[in-house]
């Protein structure tokens, strides 16, 4: 295992959700009114915040996680798993008034998933301005998503601005923003649905994704990645747009692929890799993730990512 506390490792702060994933393996997604016999049910640590923290830690960063679990067995199990990855969970609150977040994850025989999240204690993830100032001091990135309440996400983003800490935002599950936060975002990672919802620009092809990325940049974001699943990702910055294809792998379970990508990207950027190198590393990490079942157990370590097959070359758009 790579040591996240090695001298010189970048420090990354993650604000986000912690869920116990109830994973149902099913032959196909049931239609309305259909009763289906599933193959198995397992309980696996997940949640976008937890998954992204684990991905950062397994890529070698020192990680501080801010979140909230319930005072129950699922909360204990999630914290135990995070500690095994040497993630600092001192800022994860335990709240006796709400159960730990739960996600019902249905995975079909093609590896595609459908997820329903019951937020539970994630709705109480919280830190005040003084705590944020302390967490963000000397951090390379604040990484956050939308599975915790928007007011708390916004408070963290504004605190990062004051602390001169770069923000990597993954607006998932997507919500339309009521405030112009784009100039506060260094790196935005969106899938095609999120890109289209937020920009109003169709983003299904690499060329369309490049246009959506340009829209975010026009609104103040420094760098944008539009992820396109099996078709790889498009990186957009001041130099233009590049399409990075993904290597072909057999998908077992796509859960946490986006979170894995994001963690690998964040750590590579924090370690001063070029934007394109960081995107290619993220694609390799995500490709490995989908060959294994479950969220956090499927997130690869740095050595596995570095020794994995290179995706094909990128092309200018
Ligand atoms: O991104 C995957 C995650 O989304 C799952 O682990 C589930 O908990 C939901 O938050």
- Residue 86 CA, ligand 1 centroid: distance in Å: 20
The number of the ligand 1 atom at minimal distance from the alpha carbon of 17 is 10
How would you class 272 by CB atoms within 10 Å of its CB: exposed for 0-12, middle for 13-18, buried for 19 or more?
exposed
CA distance 259 to 65: 14
Cis peptide bond prior to 164, omega within 30° of 0: no
278 C-beta closer than 6 A to ligand 1: no
Which of the listed residues 256, 258, 292, 298 should we mutate to test ligand 1's pocket, taking the one with most ligand atoms within 8 A of CB? 256
- Residue 172 CA, ligand 1 centroid: distance in Å: 10
State the distance between the two ends of the chain, measured CA to CA, in whole angstroms: 38
Own/partner long-range contacts of 130-134 (Cβ < 8 Å, ≥24 apart): 131/91, 132/156, 132/159, 132/160, 132/163, 133/159, 133/162, 133/163
What's CA 215's distance to the chain center, in Å? 22
- Residue 18 CA, ligand 1 centroid: distance in Å: 8
Which token pair is 303? Answer: 């050595």
Which token pair is 195? Answer: 């890109």
259 C-beta closer than 6 A to ligand 1: yes
The domains found in the chain, sorted by start residue, are 11-17+47-97+121-316 (3.40.1190.20)
Q: Give the model's pLDDT for residue 102.
A: 98
Q: Give the model's pLDDT for residue 313.
A: 76
106 C-beta closer than 6 A to ligand 1: no
By alpha-carbon position, which residue is closest to atom 7 of ligand 1? 47
Active site residue 253: no
Which residue of the set 85, 259, 272, 276 is catalytic? 259
67 C-beta closer than 6 A to ligand 1: no
The number of the ligand 1 atom at minimal distance from the alpha carbon of 51 is 6
Q: Phi and psi dihedrals of 305, rounded to 5?
A: -70, -45
The number of the ligand 1 atom at minimal distance from the alpha carbon of 296 is 6
Which token pair is 234? Answer: 């498009």
By alpha-carbon position, which residue is closest to atom 2 of ligand 1? 256
By alpha-carbon position, which residue is closest to atom 6 of ligand 1? 46
88 C-beta closer than 6 A to ligand 1: no
CA distance 99 to 4: 30
Instruction: Specify which residues 96 forms β-bridges with.
Output: none
Which of the listed residues 116, 295, 296 should we mutate to test ligand 1's pocket, taking the one with most ligand atoms within 8 A of CB? 295
Nearest to 167 by CA among 176, 177, 156: 156
pLDDT in tens, the chain (317 residues): 334 444 479 999 999 999 999 999 999 999 999 999 999 999 999 999 999 999 999 999 999 999 999 999 999 999 999 999 999 999 999 999 999 999 999 999 999 999 999 999 999 999 999 999 999 999 999 999 999 999 999 999 999 999 999 999 999 999 988 778 999 999 999 999 999 999 999 999 999 999 999 999 999 999 999 999 999 999 999 999 999 999 999 999 999 999 999 999 999 999 999 999 999 999 999 999 999 999 999 999 999 999 997 777 778 78
253 C-beta closer than 6 A to ligand 1: no
All residues at 6 or more sequence positions from 312 whose CB lies less than 8 Å from its CB, including other chains: 245, 247
């Amino acid at each position: 295992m790579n040591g996240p506390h090695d001298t010189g490792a970048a420090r990354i702060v993650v604000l986000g959700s912690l869920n116990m994933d109830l994973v149902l393996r099913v032959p196909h997604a049931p239609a309305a009114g259909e009763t289906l016999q599933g193959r198995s049910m397992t309980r696996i640590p997940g949640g976008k915040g937890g998954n992204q923290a684990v991905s950062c830690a397994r890529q070698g960063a020192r990680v501080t996680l801010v979140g909230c679990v319930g005072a129950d067995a699922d909360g204990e199990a999630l914290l135990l798993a995070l500690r095994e990855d040497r993630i600092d969970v001192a800022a994860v609150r335990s709240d006796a008034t709400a159960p730990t977040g739960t996600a019902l994850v249905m995975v079909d025989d093609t590896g595609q998933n459908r997820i329903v999240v019951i937020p539970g204690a994630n709705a109480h993830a919280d830190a005040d301005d003084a705590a944020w100032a302390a967490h963000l001091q000397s951090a390379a990135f604040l990484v956050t998503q939308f599975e915790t309440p928007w007011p708390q996400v916004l408070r963290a983003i504004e605190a990062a601005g004051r602390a001169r800490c770069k923000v990597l935002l993954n607006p998932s599950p997507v919500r339309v923003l009521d405030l112009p936060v784009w100039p506060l975002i260094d790196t935005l990672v969106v899938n095609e649905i999120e890109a289209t919802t937020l920009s109003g620009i169709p983003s299904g092809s690499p060329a369309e994704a490049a246009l959506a990325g340009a829209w975010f940049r026009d609104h103040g974001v420094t760098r944008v990645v539009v992820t396109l699943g099996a078709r790889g990702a498009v990186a957009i910055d001041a130099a233009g747009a590049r399409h990075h294809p993904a290597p072909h792998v057999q998908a077992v379970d796509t859960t946490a692929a986006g979170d894995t990508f994001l963690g690998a990207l964040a750590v590579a950027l924090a370690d001063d890799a070029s934007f394109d190198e960081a995107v290619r590393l993220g694609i390799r990490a995500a490709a490995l993730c989908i060959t294994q079942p479950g969220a956090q157990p499927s997130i690869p370590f740095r050595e596995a990512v570095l020794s994995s097959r290179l995706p094909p070359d990128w092309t200018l758009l």
